Amino acid sequence: MPEQHDTERTLKLARRLILGAAGAAAPAMLAQAQTAPPASAQPAQGAGRSLGDPRSEYPRPPFQRQEQPWPGLAARMVPRPDHGETSYRGSGKLVGRKALITGGDSGIGRAAAIAYAREGADVAINYLPAEEEDAREVVRLIQDAGRKAVAIAGDIQEEAFCNRLVEQAVRELGGLDILVNNAARQSAKKSILEIDTAQFDATMKTNLYAMFWITKAALPHMPPGAAIINTASVVAYDPPAMLLDYAMTKSAIITFTRALAKQLGEKGIRVNAVAPGPFWTPLQPSGGQSPDALPQFGAETPLGRPGQPVELAPTYVLLASAEASFTSGDVQGATGGRPNS
């Protein structure tokens, strides 16, 4: 029965090959199992959100009519903005980094502060004394993430304070490698004839002079690999009639960003800007929109609503992180579908 013997020999050879391969693979599999951290020790990925309809994921107009004195508080807005307090989950993108954020008590700056802390960075925030209530919440959220929080109150319209702000942030953080120039002043006026010199000065100093002063003070402390992120706006490209002076500054921020990126490329420091569309922040009910227009704020976007600050947090994280190492002189948009160029 030669054919039967040949078949048996073939089966035995096949079994030896299979067992040999399994035996060779076993040590490698065991080593992998021993070195891989348990699932609970691995960093959470992304914001932990499931797929949702962007039109209805967050509040839509109409909103209730509301007004606040400048500079406004997130704690008193209805509905309260979502800065990622309960939703943003980090993944270790900024471990060991040190960030200074102006306007970090509320709005986009607050969302960036929360995200940076949960990504592993220590964070200093600047705010006006009138915003202390919001700032205390941000400090608690940064500390809850296990990171160092530095709260520095003061008016960035003053050059001397801008210099002190950077010095204190560097001293208390032990360095500085992320700067977010985010604080802004916005006052809606129907006509240029309604914009007095005091408002014009306040807008220019808050939005432009402070960015210039703070960046100058920060640069000597920033190493190669550091990142500067400036908050511009979609109004730089499509200026509303009621935001004449504010829109001027946002166009200038884009030009400042692109020119500074060319200067600092040889130092290994990246400079970028973010140009958001309408976002639900205290800027709006504290004079940034007319009270009559606020109930429909954001309704004109293709998605039919304003953005929530948490929706910009990943953009600020990306631009600060090493993952964007070849991104400089760029302007990132988040406009709900409105053109931003």
Q: Let me know how long the chain is.
A: 341
Give the per-residue pLDDT at 23. 40
C-alpha–C-alpha distance, residues 244 and 192, integer Å: 7
Q: How far apart are CA 227 and CA 323, in angstroms?
A: 12
Q: Which pLDDT value is given to residue 48?
A: 56
The radius of gyration of the chain from alpha carbons, rounded to an integer in Å, stands at 26
159/163 Cα distance (integer angstroms) = 6
| Tens-digit pLDDT profile for residues 222-263 | 999 999 999 999 999 999 999 999 999 999 999 999 999 999
94-107 per-position pLDDT tens digit: 999 999 999 999 99
Q: Percent of the chain having pLDDT more than 70?
A: 85
User: Using an 8 Å Cβ cutoff, are 314 and 108 in contact?
Assistant: no
Sign, CA torsion 183/188/191/193: negative
Q: Which two tokens stand for residue 341?
A: 């160029």
Q: Which of 262, 164, 182, 175 is nearest to 220 (CA)?
A: 175
Q: Which two tokens stand for residue 29?
A: 């599999």
Q: Is residue 246 flagged as an active site residue?
A: yes
Q: How far apart are CA 12 and CA 14, in angstroms?
A: 5
pLDDT at 28 over 70: no
d(CA 96, CA 116): 10
In Å, how far are 58, 79, 283 from 52, measured between CA atoms? 10, 20, 27
Residue 197 has pLDDT above 80, yes or no: yes
Taking residues 307-319, report their average pLDDT.
97
pLDDT number for residue 4: 44
Q: pLDDT at residue 20 above 60?
A: no
Q: Which domains does the chain have, with CATH numbers?
A: 62-334 (3.40.50.720)
Write the CB contacts of 61 (distance below 8 Å, at least 6 apart in sequence).
Answer: 295, 296, 297, 298, 299, 304, 305, 306
51 token code pair? 């797929």
Mean pLDDT of the chain: 88
pLDDT at 341 > cutoff 90: no
pLDDT at 55 over 80: yes
Cα angle value 187/126/68 (rounded, 5°): 35
The pLDDT of residue 82 is above 50? yes
Q: What is the arrangement of strands in the sheet containing 122-127, beginning at the earlier edge strand? A: 149-153, 122-127, 98-102, 178-181, 227-231, 270-276, 331-334
The Cα–Cα gap between 322 and 309 comes to: 23
Q: List, in sequence order, every residue forming a beta bridge with 334; answer none if it has no partner.
A: 276
pLDDT tens, position by position, 64-80:
999 999 999 999 999 99
**Share above pLDDT 90 across residues of the chain, in percent, rounded to a whole number:** 84
Residue 34 CA: distances (Å) to CA of 40, 42, 112, 235 = 15, 14, 37, 54
Mean pLDDT of the region 115-132: 98
What mean pLDDT comes out for the span 329-338? Answer: 94
Please compute the mean of the pLDDT values over residues 167-175 and round it to a whole number.
98
